[in-house]
Structure 1
């Protein structure tokens, strides 16, 4: 089997690492990839939304599966592009079509979907610049903090949580009338703030049946104690101790099953991963958001816990026989800690030489923002490396990750030393 992975982050390196282990793999390509993915397969200089270039490459290399890592090509309709082209329609795309990807591509679409199918979520309303005054009135009806979400994709930056009513009104005006987040904020969803603890749940579906993957919890803020600016994620832990059987049964019955059935009822054919961003509010799950792909850095702890052959699952999605496939997981805890560039998530420098990577033995190092310059590995992004370790509990896994991070160096490197700080677990 020949497989093309689209993307260049830690998520794509983790998937490439897993695909490379499959008994069915012949050739593995990653476009555009990074210095880490180059260890698993062959990097290809193609942009993830260069659909014509991707088509030509797939024909040239006789690709069987295209796994789409990031959301942009999915929301832009890469699945539909392949299905609509006689030359490549036989190639299986692991990732939903354009309509299905609106679960992530439009906050308003996903909220209306949840309301229609009685999936628990925060109460909300959607506003445009023409209904700005109504938006102000809705804000006045809510208790702080106020949650404002740009409707479209905003590279993870389109959500504001504000304590002050006047500030919330000013930001709403800025989003709607001054294009604070570009076209993404032509519509803004305002929703009630939910107080609780977050976790991420994932399924892979062929449109009818689904398989659950291990849950995870990630840490978005740059500073310790969950302070400072939001980032793409500074680390993650799986499993999540508070996500016990009783809670996960609620997630399955109140969230996952109604979502899969709702998509089918709405005539939306969904093949790929669904990410449920959840809030545990007094032991009840509420959906904060859907993503139409796996999360990052959660992938870096979820995929290492998957013992099954991932191409078996992809084949199940493509042939709609997922219910016949077995899924097995490692019982150990997996943790990942992100090493990021100094200054991230604001201005930061790139092309810093990374040393110490060859001395890592007890951890997996997934590259997020790196590139090769001859034999040298250089930083090429804000989030640079994800150091993932196994352990019989969270603390033991984290101890290994932190010990190995000490061996890796690049100028300005920063990481949080308190990943998992808010998770209580019984020590063995």
Structure 2
């Protein structure tokens, strides 16, 4: 089949890498793609929100399946748009419509959905500039740290964890009045801080049936030991030791099933991936957030572990035949280290030449390089073109060997002011060692 993949980041390079391995894929098109996807399919100079251009490509290239990587086109209604034309309405698309995408597009909507369907989550209230005073009083009633979330999309940076009341009040003012995150923070959700260990769970669904994919743990903060501001993600590990059969049974029964049931009751035909960001609080799972697509960088750690045909999974999701698919998972460990531009997540420079990539652009069996924020220079060299530049995924029988394989590859690649965390997976390693001593 001819497949159109929408997106240009590390997640999409991982998708393209996995899709291109399938005999079911005849031709892969990526809009707009990056230098990493260019070797796996045909990149198209089309923006992820150029719905007209996407429609024209679907018709002109006889596309049989559309896979949407990022959240923005979903929240803006790509599925709904394509369903409005006789030439494209029958093409299966992996990704929810505008109604389902609200689970990520509005933090207020998603929190209300969780409360309505009895899904465990942190207590919260939502505020606008019109009731800012009430928001300030609500902050006073909370025990620090206090979590502030921009209601809308903020490129993974709209969540602030404030250490004290004064900082929380200042940040609330900056978000609501100063438009710190633009229109995304015209409404702000304030919620209680959950103490525990984070976990990302991924569900593939066709609206009726679902498959729970391998879980992962990601690392949001820029600094080691989880310090500094939040980023889009600095690394990921899969599997996660504490996500054993007992814990995942709680996740499925308390969260996945009521979420799927709630979507049905709301009349939402949800066909796509659902990312559930969880907190393991003393053995019980609580939902931090929903995303309506696969995570980035978790995808780079999760997809290598999927043994069964990935295009078959995507096709069943789009065609509402997921009950016919059997997920098979590799039992090795996969770890991803994200290499970022110096200064990220604040201001940073682009256009730095990446050195050492030429000998590292093919997978070795031990590691894979996924492009995220890169572009090709005039002389064919690869340049930095974003905050998160590369994701290096190592594989191994143990977490130690997977991390070693990832960092061995990281050490061969360089550009001016490159930055990355050296402690990815160390907390998981400690959990594994502690468990072995019990």
What range describes the TM-score normalised by the shorter chain of this pair? over 0.9
Superposed, 1:127-138 pairs within 5 Å as 127-138=127-138
Deviation at 1:108, TM superposition (A): 0.6
Deviation at 1:387, TM superposition (A): 0.8
Q: Which residue matches 1:393?
A: 398
Report what 1:71 is aligned to. 71
Structure 1, 57-66 or 295-304: larger mean CA deviation? 57-66
Whole-angstrom CA distance in 2 between matches of 1:16 and 1:279: 30
- Structure 1 window deviating more from structure 2 (87-96 vs 271-280): it is 87-96
Cα displacement (A) at 1:259: 0.3
Residue 417 of structure 1 aligns with which residue? Answer: 422
The SS at the match of 1:101 is helix
Instruction: Tell me if the contact between 2:146 and 2:193 (Cα under 8 Å) persists in the aligned partners.
Output: yes
Which residue of the partner structure matches residue 285 of structure 2? Answer: 285
What is the CA distance between 1:119 and its match in structure 2?
0.1
Alpha-carbon distance, 1:100 to partner: 0.3
CA distance in 2, matches of 1:409, 1:193: 37
Report the alpha carbon displacement of residue 130 of structure 1 after superposing the two structures with TM: 1.8
**1:144-196: per-residue Cα shift (whole Å, max 9, x none)?**
11111111111112111112212212222222223222111121111111011
The superposition leaves residues 381-418 of structure 1 with CA deviations (integer Å, 9 ceiling, x where unpaired) of: 11111111111111110001111111112222221111
Determine the C-alpha separation between the residues in 1 that align with 2:240 and 2:325.
25
Distance 2:139 2:280 in 1: 24
Point out the more displaced range, 132-141 or 149-158: 132-141
After superposition, give the CA deviation of every residue in 1:70-95 in whole Å (9 maximum; x if it has no partner). 10000000000011111211211110
Q: Does 1:364 pair with 2:368?
A: yes
Normalising by structure 2, we get a TM-score of: 0.95
| Rounded Cα–Cα distance in structure 1 between residues aligned with 2:233 and 2:95 | 22
**Residue of structure 2 in register with 1:91 after alignment:** 91
Q: Which residue, 410, 413, 438 being the options, matches 1:408?
A: 413
Q: Provide TM-score, normalisation by structure 1.
A: 0.98
Q: Distance in 1 between matches of 2:174 and 2:370?
A: 38
Q: CA RMSD in A?
A: 1.3
- SS at structure 1 position matched to 2:25: coil
Q: 1:369, CA displacement in angstroms? A: 1.0
Aligned residue for 2:5, secondary structure, equals strand
Deviation at 1:210? 0.2
Q: Does the residue aligned with 1:110 lie in a helix, a strand or coil?
A: helix
SS of equivalent to 2:269? coil
- The equivalent residue for 1:383 is 388
Unmatched 5+ stretches in structure 2 = none
The equivalent of 1:233 in structure 2 is 233
State whether residues 225 and 421 of structure 1, in contact with CA within 8 Å, keep that contact through their aligned partners in structure 2.
no
How far apart, CA to CA, are the structure 2 residues paired with 1:314 and 1:99? 21
1:312-331 to 2 correspondences below 5 Å = 312-331=312-331
Relative to structure 1, the CA distance from residue 128 to residue 339 in structure 2 (aligned partners, 3 Å threshold; closer, same or farther) is same
- Determine the structure 1 residue equivalent to 2:174: 174
- Offset of residue 30 of structure 1: 0.8
Which residue number in structure 2 is paired with residue 245 of structure 1? 245
Deviation for aligned residue 1:420: 0.8
Structure 1 Cα separation of the partners of residues 70 and 156 of structure 2: 12
Residue matched to 2:109: 109
> 2:34 is matched with which residue?
34
> Take 1:86 and 1:134, find their aligned partners in 2: how far apart are those partners?
49
Residue 32 (structure 1) shift: 0.9
Secondary structure at the residue paired with 2:275? Answer: strand
Encode CA deviations 1:51-81: one digit per residue, 9 max, x unaligned: 0011111111111111111100000000000
The DSSP-based 3-state class of the residue aligned with 1:57 is helix
CA distance, structure 1, for counterparts of residue 116 and residue 187 of structure 2: 20
| Pairwise CA distance, 1:215 | 0.3
Distance in 2 of aligned mates of 1:231 and 1:178? 21
- After superposing the two structures, state which structure 1 stretch, 200-209 or 359-368, moved more: 359-368
- Quote how far apart the aligned CAs of 1:357 are: 2.3
Contact 1:74-1:97 at 8 Å conserved across structures: yes
Aligned counterpart, 2:80:
80
Q: 4+ residue stretches of structure 1 with deviation over 4 A?
A: none
Q: Distance in 2 between matches of 1:383 and 1:261?
A: 36
Distance 1:116 1:315 in 2: 32
Matched positions, count:
428
* Residues in 2 aligned to 1:378 and 1:165: alpha-carbon distance in whole angstroms: 42
Q: Which segments of 5 or more consecutive residues in structure 1 lack a partner in the other structure?
A: none
